[in-house]
Structure 1
Amino acid sequence: MKTNAEIYFEEQMKNPEFRVNYSFAREKFKLEFMLEKLIENINNDFEKTKLLKQAKKIEKYVSRICLI
């Protein structure tokens, strides 16, 4: 059985404008989280190779979401 919140969300997702805004908000959150983690690791003096790997991961992610 679905909760009222799940039912409401499904109804909202039928609206194309809401669906687009929701998708953008999710992608923005993911990107902000990845950048926050990278900054945290820079501040904690992580190895340069690990930082570069994280930066490349973010770069690929940005490229992917720009193509959507």
Structure 2
Amino acid sequence: MADKVKVLVVGLGNMGASHASAYHRSEGFQIVGIMSRSIKSNTKIPSELAGYPLYEDFDVALKETKPDAVS
């Protein structure tokens, strides 16, 4: 099996949460982080996504996660 595609998810609104949930369930992807400018104050993070690293700064998220793709 090929390596999983490492994805940094940016935004956790309706669309971002939907995409993150799809990546979470997909065998071919690995979420390496979730970024949103107000993620630390977001109390509505879906439970299936709660264990991923959270970032409020895009540049820091890119540097630390080194993703293959950004969604």
TM-score, normalising length: structure 1: 0.32
Q: Decide which structure has the larger Cα Rg and report it.
A: 1
TM-score, normalising length: structure 2: 0.31
Name whichever structure is richer in strand by fraction: 2
